[in-house]
């Protein structure tokens, strides 16, 4: 578990240039002003992604009104299959998530920025014959665009919600202090 320190940033995250599930171009700048919850996965994932997206949906419910400060992002690691319309249809089960995709080069750049592992391997149970095992970490990008925390797949929805509440409260206190309140 990472420790949060005011003003600290994790050495992950950064610039990306992708397309959202409605076909609109987006960059890391698009989400400034909100907390972004960034998770990498692929729509043919049978276990990790459905579990993670379900847990994050529960977290958003636990946050109540603070959920409006969050933009959950689901970035594909399988751009060959995960076109915008495929991602939109897949994410309909988890309202509020925005799917992001792009060319192989754009996805590789985003993966590198977040230090995400994902590599295609044969999977005879998949209709296309392959799967893409991947890192199962959710990154938290603050409203200034800085990665301030990450959550492993092992944390419960309650634990993640509490850490996000702590982050929001700490950021609010820092902003109030800087404004002289």
Point out the annotated binding site.
45, 49, 134
Q: Is 78 within 8 Å of 113 (Cβ atoms)?
A: no
Concatenating the DSSP letter of every residue in the chain gives -----TT---S-----EEEETTS-EEEGGGGTTSEEEEEEE-TT-SSHHHHHHHHHHHHHHHHGGGGGGEEEEEEES-TTT--HHHHHHHHTTSTT-EEEE--HHHHHHHHHHHT--B--EE-TTSTTSEE--B---EEEE-TTS-EEEEE-TTS-HHHHHHHHHHHHHHHHHHHHHHTT-
Two tokens at 66?
Answer: 């603070």
- Cα 141 → chain centroid: 9
Give binding residues for Cu cation as ranges. Answer: 45, 49, 134
């Amino acid at each position: 578990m990472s420790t949060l320190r005011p003003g600290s940033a994790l050495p992950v995250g950064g610039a990306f240039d992708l397309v959202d599930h409605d076909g609109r171009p987006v960059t890391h700048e698009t989400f400034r002003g909100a907390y972004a919850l960034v998770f990498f996965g692929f729509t043919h994932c049978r276990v990790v992604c459905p579990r993670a997206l379900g847990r994050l949906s529960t977290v958003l419910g636990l946050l109540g009104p603070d959920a409006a400060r969050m933009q959950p992002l689901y970035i594909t690691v399988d751009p060959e299959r995960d076109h915008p319309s495929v991602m939109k249809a897949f994410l309909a089960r988890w309202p509020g998530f925005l799917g992001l995709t792009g060319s192989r080069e754009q996805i590789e750049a985003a993966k590198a920025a977040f230090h995400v592992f994902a590599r295609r391997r044969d999977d005879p149970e998949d209709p296309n014959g392959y799967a893409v095992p991947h890192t199962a970490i959710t990154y938290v990008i603050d409203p200034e665009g800085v990665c301030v925390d990450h959550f492993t797949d092992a944390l419960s929805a309650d634990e993640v919600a509490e850490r996000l509440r702590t982050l929001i409260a700490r950021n609010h206190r820092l902003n109030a202090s800087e404004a002289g309140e």
